[in-house]
Structure 1
């Protein structure tokens, strides 16, 4: 009975899949008992669903108002209400990944401390780190934003590298390579990836159809959850975006302090 209910749930969910406003023709067929999700297309070929649960790290409070990029700086995980809420929505039996920077590790530890079963391991992926902003790191954020063209949605044009650092496209390309590799390594599983605002925006751009600049249009708040589902078959693959920047704690106004810009923000256009 339990498996039948799960089948109904996944069928309902999957049959509403849209990717870039195109309705998927794939339908639910089977769910294996080890937690991997597999389906069959209309032609009878297996479709494997890999679900990414991205979590942005907790807020950095000791940056002095400066740009920190890839600086290995600690974050504030003191708001247990927030982590309790996030721990409740993440899937058990997932494989865990993070960047190599301590703020992602501290965020994961806070989720586990909130009652989420600690996994046996969490893989560190340097290519999921925030953009290397080179000489811009350490500069006053407000002054930097004021120096950029009106309407700028990131630190610079996506192809412009920071002096001594990376461009957003550099970040996007390494993030895409890592996602594609993990999609093969952990095919059919739930993946929890604790990462950074820029990294998650890059992942959203990939899911939108390899449109990196479009990912920059999304806010990614601290400790927010973004879920991206990858459907793969021998014939084709599609992405679905069930939720972006989900904040399970926002029912309580007392916990509205998780908004820390993942890059310059547009406050006004003129």
Structure 2
């Protein structure tokens, strides 16, 4: 199976905001950004999957074909921090989480390991259900970093060294 991971396109109004599962608006450049993503993808057919977030669903809809919505593709759940300004978060809690985000979770949220576990389960499930197919998953930077780190043998603590800009396309072969 070929797995193509696509990060949603640029968003608007999130400067300094902690958002993972929070719904945020797409940038005004969305039509052109979506077309650039489409042009970067191989010809279909694909099995098209998307995170439940509107920023992912809208892009997947633009790519065409039926879209499966899979909650395992959701971004990191920041729990009580969702939608708050990073500057307004309690500094000791934020520092503690930043130092141990791989296994620690924000209050009421999830750790990076939790995210990676569900992302890896998604990839394995797609490989089982669609051998030989090309699966395109429209998702978030966290999910993409987790899958690429696992594939490349990069420790999760270093996953943020992997560049995943908005609208980027990342290919994995024989994902399982």
Same topology, TM > 0.5? yes
Asked whether the equivalents of residues 59 and 76 of structure 1 are also in contact (C-alpha less than 8 Å), the reply is: yes
- Cα RMSD after superposing both structures: 2.6
Secondary structure, aligned partner of 1:107: helix
Secondary structure, aligned partner of 2:104: coil
Q: What do the CA deviations read for 1:145-189 (whole angstroms, capped 9, x no partner)?
A: x8755xx9x685210111011111111111111111111111111
Q: Which residue of 2 aligns with 1:83?
A: 34
Asked whether the equivalents of residues 79 and 110 of structure 2 are also in contact (C-alpha less than 8 Å), the reply is: yes
Alpha-carbon offset, residue 64 of structure 1: 5.7
Question: Whose strand proportion is higher, 1 or 2?
Answer: 1
Instruction: State how far apart, in whole Å, the 2-side matches of 1:155 and 1:94 are.
Output: 39
Instruction: State how far apart, in whole Å, the 2-side matches of 1:224 and 1:142 are.
Output: 28
- Structure index of larger Rg: 1
Alpha-carbon offset, residue 94 of structure 1: 1.1
Is 1:95 aligned with 2:40?
no
Gaps of 5+ in 2: none
Is 1:183 aligned with 2:127?
yes
- Structure 1 residues 1-270: aligned runs within 5 Å: 50-63=1-14, 65-76=16-27, 78-91=29-42, 92-110=44-62, 112=63, 118-119=64-65, 121-142=66-87, 156-209=100-153, 211-230=155-174
Instruction: State how far apart, in whole Å, the 1-side matches of 2:175 and 2:104 are.
Output: 32
Q: Label 1:156 to 1:60 Cα distance change in 2 as closer, same or farther (>3 A).
A: farther
Bigger relative contact order (CA 8 A; separation at least 6): 2
Instruction: State how far apart, in whole Å, the 2-side matches of 1:72 and 1:98 are.
Output: 14
Asked whether the equivalents of residues 12 and 24 of structure 2 are also in contact (C-alpha less than 8 Å), the reply is: no
Asked whether the equivalents of residues 10 and 30 of structure 2 are also in contact (C-alpha less than 8 Å), the reply is: no
TM-score (norm 2): 0.85
Instruction: State how far apart, in whole Å, the 2-side matches of 1:156 and 1:140 are.
Output: 20
Question: Whose helix proportion is higher, 1 or 2?
Answer: 2
Q: Which residue of 2 aligns with 1:4?
A: none
Q: Label 1:155 to 1:132 Cα distance change in 2 as closer, same or farther (>3 A).
A: farther
Asked whether the equivalents of residues 145 and 159 of structure 2 are also in contact (C-alpha less than 8 Å), the reply is: yes
Alpha-carbon offset, residue 93 of structure 1: 0.7
Instruction: State how far apart, in whole Å, the 2-side matches of 1:166 and 1:184 are.
Output: 26
Alpha-carbon offset, residue 87 of structure 1: 1.2
Q: Label 1:97 to 1:157 Cα distance change in 2 as closer, same or farther (>3 A).
A: same
Q: What do the CA deviations read for 1:233-255 (whole angstroms, capped 9, x no partner)?
A: xxxxxxxxxxxxxxxxxxxxxxx
Asked whether the equivalents of residues 71 and 137 of structure 1 are also in contact (C-alpha less than 8 Å), the reply is: yes
Gaps of 5+ in 1: 1-49, 113-117, 233-270
